Amino acid sequence: EYSSSLKFALIMMGEYLHTFTASGIAVTLFLGGWRPPFPMSWEWAFTGYWPVLWFFIKFALTFSFIIWVRASLPRVRYDQLMSLGWKVLIPVNLGWILLVAAVRNVMVNEGDRVLGIAVGVVIVIGVLAIWMRFDTVNQRRKEDRKAQVEAEFEELTNEPAAGGFPVPPLDLPHYHGVPRS
Helix (H) or strand (E) holding 65: helix 50-72
94-124 per-position pLDDT tens digit: 888 887 887 788 778 766 777 777 777 888 8
**Contact 27/9 with Cβ under 8 angstroms?**
no
Domain boundaries, the chain: 1-73, 76-160
Average pLDDT, the chain: 82
pLDDT grade for 163, boundaries at 50, 70 and 90 = low
Contact 124, 131 (CB under 8 A): no
Band the pLDDT of 22: cuts 50, 70, 90. Answer: very high
Whether the predicted pLDDT of 80 surpasses 60:
yes
Which distant-in-sequence residues (6+ apart) come within 8 Å of 58 by Cβ? 27, 31, 32
Q: Output the DSSP codes for 88-131.
A: IIHHHHHHHHHHHHHHHHHHHHT--HHHHHHHHHHHHHHHHHHH
